[in-house]
């Protein structure tokens, strides 16, 4: 029968337990005294100052600079021919529509015949008046008879003048049978219909004069003083097209309902009919108001969290602090900082998106970026 294994004494167990505790404490002390490991290697730099453009954004409608209404000057005539349609480019004096001229031609001939008759009667009356005046000294005719002949001659001349006026009126009616473009431009509306009998003043066409458009920007009253005539404006339509315009004038009044003021911006004329912006479009734009110096940081240095912008400032102990900032204008890959950051702060450029407040980092300074003013 084998002999039983001897059990360790209580004193021996206590010694072993004490030895284990002393060994564990030594390891914890070693961990505490070991140097901390950086969470990330980053590059840092200081904010730089750059000249950024000052811009003012606004919205508004695109409209015709001037829209001419072309109406009928003929009364009761039938529209015989319509030569243009919406979108057609026309030149000043071009025939847009033609009315039937048969009746007017007859009236012109009648007025011309009446003038010739009046001229013949005037010639006869003038001759009679001259003979009567020549006989006045001989006593063959009385003073009253001579006066009657002279009056008849003057009356005949008046009838000639009236006949000339009637002929001119009928010739104008003949001229008005052709509807002419009052200026070069683009046809924006057409109401003329072949065969229609229209009255005087009936609208036939609308014309965008010289193809010129304008942008009517709406600005709040607080921004009126910042915009001056002649300022450059970039107008961008909903379709993405962009044109460069110039401020013509600022309205002298403020709308009582919206508390906004209209700013009229001239857009480049386009008589080809292919302008990127069309009358009636809603468009946004930016007024270029010069430039000013601003504190900027690279876009990659900004971390957006919970809807706010932050940068990480490097402290002397190689740890970073999360700093909330306010951002403004943008120029290329650099963004303006309007609040929350000192100009001499050392901030993390590369790796900012992976850091948390208080992280230990290894710093590799970044090369200073050159910012070109626009």
Choose between 265 and 14: higher pLDDT: 265
Task: Give residue 1's pLDDT.
Answer: 43
Based on the number of CB atoms within 10 Å of its own CB, is 76 exposed (0-12), middle (13-18) or buried (19 or more)?
exposed
| Cα 211 to Cα 186: distance, rounded to the nearest angstrom | 6
* Arithmetic mean of pLDDT, 263-283: 83
- pLDDT over 90, % of the chain: 45
Q: What's the whole-number average pLDDT of the chain?
A: 84
Angle between helices 143-175 and 102-136 (to 10 degrees): 160
Place of tokens 């509306």: 189
User: 17 pLDDT band (50/70/90 cuts)?
Assistant: low
User: 49 pLDDT band (50/70/90 cuts)?
Assistant: confident
* In the chain, alpha helices (H): 10-33, 102-136, 143-175
| Cα 286 to Cα 290: distance, rounded to the nearest angstrom | 12
Choose between 363 and 253: higher pLDDT: 253
Task: Give residue 372's pLDDT.
Answer: 46
CA distances, 277 to each of 159, 230, 261 (Å): 58, 20, 22
96 Cβ contact list (under 8 Å, min separation 6): 70, 82, 83, 84, 90, 179, 180, 181, 187, 192, 204, 205
pLDDT in tens, 138-190: 767 778 888 888 899 999 999 999 999 999 999 999 999 999 999 999 999 99
pLDDT in tens, 95-148: 999 999 999 999 999 999 999 999 999 999 999 888 888 877 776 777 888 888
pLDDT in tens, 347-356: 888 878 888 8
pLDDT in tens, 64-93: 999 999 999 888 899 999 999 998 999 999
Domains of the chain, each with CATH number or no CATH: 40-51+293-365 (2.40.420.20), 57-65+211-291 (2.40.30.170), 77-98+178-210 (2.40.50.100), 101-176 (1.10.287)
Query: Over the range 324-353, which residues count as b (16 or more CB within 10 Å of their CB) and which as e?
Result: ebebebebeebbbbeeebeeebbbbbbbbe
Task: Give residue 20's pLDDT.
Answer: 52
Task: Give residue 373's pLDDT.
Answer: 45
* Arithmetic mean of pLDDT, 327-331: 86
Choose between 271 and 195: higher pLDDT: 195
Q: 3-class SS at 351?
A: coil
Compute the residue count for the chain. Answer: 374
From 16-25, 306-315, 333-342, the region with the lowest mean pLDDT? 16-25
Q: 3-class SS at 194?
A: coil
Q: 3-class SS at 313?
A: strand
| Cα 279 to Cα 273: distance, rounded to the nearest angstrom | 12
pLDDT in tens, 191-248: 999 999 988 889 999 999 998 999 999 999 888 888 999 999 999 987 788 899 999 9
Question: DSSP labels for 243-274?
Answer: EEEEEEEE-SS--TTT-EEEEEEEPPP-TTS-
pTM for the model stands at 0.65
CB 214 within 8 A of CB 62: yes
Task: Give residue 31's pLDDT.
Answer: 43
Q: 3-class SS at 35?
A: coil
Q: 3-class SS at 174?
A: helix
């Amino acid at each position: 029968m084998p002999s039983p294994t001897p059990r360790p004494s209580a004193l021996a167990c206590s010694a072993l337990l004490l030895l284990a505790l002393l060994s564990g404490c030594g390891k914890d002390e070693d961990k505490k005294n070991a140097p901390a490991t950086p969470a990330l290697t980053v590059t840092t730099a200081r904010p730089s100052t750059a000249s950024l453009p000052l811009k003012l954004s606004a919205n508004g409608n695109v409209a015709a600079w001037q829209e001419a209404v072309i109406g009928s000057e003929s009364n009761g005539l039938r529209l015989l021919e319509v030569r243009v349609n919406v979108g057609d480019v026309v030149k000043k004096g071009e025939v847009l529509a033609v009315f039937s001229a048969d009746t007017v031609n007859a009236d012109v001939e009648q007025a011309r015949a009446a003038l010739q008759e009046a001229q013949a009667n005037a010639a006869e009356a003038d001759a009679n008046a001259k003979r009567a005046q020549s006989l006045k000294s001989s006593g063959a005719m009385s003073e009253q008879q001579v006066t009657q002949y002279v009056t008849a001659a003057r009356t005949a001349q008046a009838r000639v003048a009236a006949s000339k006026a009637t002929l001119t009126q009928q010739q104008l009616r003949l001229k008005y049978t052709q509807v002419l473009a009052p200026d070069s431009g683009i046809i924006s509306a057409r109401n003329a219909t072949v065969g229609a009998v229209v009255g005087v003043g009936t609208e036939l066409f609308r014309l965008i004069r010289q193809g010129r458009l304008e942008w009517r920007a709406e600005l709040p009253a607080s921004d009126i003083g910042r915009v001056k005539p002649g300022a450059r404006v970039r107008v961008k339509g909903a379709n993405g097209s962009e044109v460069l315009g110039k401020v013509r004038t600022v309205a002298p009044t403020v709308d009582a309902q919206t508390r906004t003021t209209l700013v009229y911006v001239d857009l480049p004329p386009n008589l080809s009919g292919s302008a990127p912006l069309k009358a009636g479009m809603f468009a946004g734009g930016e007024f270029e108001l010069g430039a000013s110096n601003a504190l900027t940081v690279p876009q990659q240095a900004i971390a957006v969290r919970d809807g706010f912008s932050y940068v990480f400032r490097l402290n002397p102990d190689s740890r970073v602090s999360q700093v909330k900032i306010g951002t403004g204008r943008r120029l290329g890959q650099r963004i303006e900082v309007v609040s929350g950051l000192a100009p001499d702060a050392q901030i993390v450029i590369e790796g900012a998106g992976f850091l948390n407040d208080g992280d230990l980092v290894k710093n590799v300074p970044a090369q200073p970026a050159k910012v070109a003013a626009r």
